[in-house]
């Protein structure tokens, strides 16, 4: 039964990659926080998914705690929605197995997100788990009967596969799962400091826990209009990475910055310093909470374990419905 005033249920998740960067916040976390009052939320730590591209598990727990510390610091409320590890709720693996019977390998090979990942990571051979990543994602979403999935634009094809699997299951075994809808963020992808996709592995990020000084140092390296070499040169803000950041983190000054860049009155160094100050100002309200959680990671783990107990109850009930529909138990 849907709670009064709640528009639906969402399942959101990330691989445990450690400290979050601005792209994570703009592309996902900001959206998650904004929807907490309107939706019933489940927040997944996708540690099984992490194995699709890296078999080493030695850093997963520490990365999980650092990531969740950032989630909590920017406003994810574990009382409104449980935070939990995929690997600690075995029903994820069970539903993944059953869903793998409902989709062909050819369909998975056509997945554009997979092709992009293979290219970005320079992978020569695709392992079975990586190919089946969207099927596990479908199990993650539908295990909690999520009907809205907030994602960045690069993940939208995966949600379409989830929709296909839900339809297939319902048509074969009876109506068990909702057909989830994709909800894209309005500012879905923020480029890295080099103008390419933001990624910690290439070092082009600003991290949420970064200090004001660290942000300033990193912004000095940000790429700008290559034709604007010195102050006085007319710039093209519409192609400038720094101006893209201004539009997100300094919207009240963008008109002035745009005009002064075009005229040459505003130099790139000063523009970057304005942008650094704006980013630091936006992140400042979260820094105190982040410091607290970084010093109390045991509390972060307790929050996760409590979320796992709550999520487990929902997962078990869903699997009862699945087994009954399939006449398996």
pLDDT exceeds 90 at position 149? no
Q: Where are the domains of the chain?
A: 9-191+297-326, 210-289
- Which numeric CATH code is attached to 210-289? 1.10.240.10
Mean pLDDT, residues 302-318: 98
121: number of CA atoms within 13 Å, CB side? 14
Q: What angle do CA 283, 289, 292 make, to 5 degrees?
A: 135
Res 7: pLDDT: 81
Q: Which pLDDT score, from 0 to 100, does residue 57 have?
A: 95
| pLDDT for the residue numbered 306 | 98
Tokens of 322: 């699945």
Q: Give me the pLDDT at residue 53, please.
A: 83
User: Does 322 score more than 80 pLDDT?
Assistant: yes
Per-residue pLDDT tens digits for 279-289 = 999 999 999 99
3-state secondary structure string across the chain: CCCCCCCCEEEEEECCCCCCEHHHHHHHHHHHHHHCCCCEEEEEECHHHHCCCCCCCCCHHHHHHHHHHHHHHHCCCCCCCCEEEHHHCCHHHHHHHHHHHHCCHHHHHCCHHHHHHHHHHCCCCCCHHHHCHHHHHHHHHHHCCCCEEEECHHHHHHHHHHHHHHHHHHHHHCCCCCCCEEEECCCCCCECCCCCECCHHHCCCCECCCCHHHHHHHHHCCCCCCCCCCCCCCCCHHHCHHHHHHHHHCHHHHHHHHHHHHHCCCCHHHHHHHHHHHHHHHHHHHHHHHHHHHHCHHHHHHHHHHHHHHHHHHHHHHHHHHHHHHCCC
Give the confidence band of 3 by pLDDT, cuts at 50, 70, 90.
Answer: low
The overall average pLDDT reported for the chain is 91
Nearest to 112 by CA among 163, 62, 167, 161: 161
- Report whether pLDDT(253) > 50: yes
**Listed residue (197, 242, 222) closest to 24, CA to CA:** 197
Distances (CA, A) of 69 to 20, 127, 200, 252, 271: 9, 31, 17, 30, 31
User: Does residue 203 come out as left (phi exceeding 0), alpha (psi in the -120 to 50 range) or beta?
Assistant: left
* CATH pick for 9-191+297-326 out of 3.40.50.620, 3.60.40.10, 1.10.150.120, 1.10.600.10: 3.40.50.620
Q: What mean pLDDT is predicted for residues 144-161?
A: 81
Q: What is the pLDDT of residues 66-93, one digit of tens each?
A: 999 999 999 999 999 999 999 999 999 9
Residue 186's pLDDT is: 58
């Amino acid at each position: 039964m849907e709670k009064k005033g709640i528009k639906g249920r969402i399942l959101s998740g990330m691989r445990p990659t450690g400290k979050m960067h601005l792209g994570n916040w703009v592309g996902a976390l900001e959206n998650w926080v904004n929807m907490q009052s309107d939706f019933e939320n489940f927040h997944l730590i996708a540690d099984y998914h992490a194995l699709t591209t890296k078999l080493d598990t030695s850093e997963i727990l520490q990365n999980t705690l650092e990531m969740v510390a950032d989630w909590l610091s920017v406003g994810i409320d574990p009382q409104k929605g449980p935070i939990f590890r995929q690997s600690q709720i075995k029903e994820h693996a069970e539903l993944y197995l059953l869903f793998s019977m409902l989709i062909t390998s050819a369909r998975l090979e056509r997945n554009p997100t997979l092709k992009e990942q293979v290219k970005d990571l320079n992978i020569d051979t695709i392992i079975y788990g990586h190919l089946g990543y969207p099927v596990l994602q479908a199990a993650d979403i539908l295990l909690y009967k999520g009907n809205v999935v907030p994602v960045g634009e690069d993940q939208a094809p995966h949600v379409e596969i989830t929709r296909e699997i839900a339809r297939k299951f319902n048509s074969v075994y009876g109506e068990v799962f909702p057909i989830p809808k994709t909800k894209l963020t309005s500012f879905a992808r923020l480029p890295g400091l080099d103008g390419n996709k933001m990624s910690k592995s290439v070092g082009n990020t600003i991290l949420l826990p970064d200090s004001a000084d660290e942000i300033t140092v990193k912004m000095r390296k940000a790429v700008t209009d290559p034709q604007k070499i010195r102050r006085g040169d007319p710039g093209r803000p519409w192609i400038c990475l720094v101006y893209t950041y201004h539009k997100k983190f300094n919207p009240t000054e963008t008109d002035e910055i745009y005009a002064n860049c075009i005229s040459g009155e505003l130099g790139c160094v000063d523009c970057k310093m304005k942008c650094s100050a704006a980013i630091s100002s936006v992140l400042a309200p979260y820094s105190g909470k982040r410091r607290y959680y970084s010093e109390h990671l045991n509390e972060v783990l307790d929050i996760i374990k409590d979320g796992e107990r709550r999520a487990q109850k929902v997962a078990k009930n869903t699997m009862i419905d699945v087994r009954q529909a399939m006449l398996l138990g």
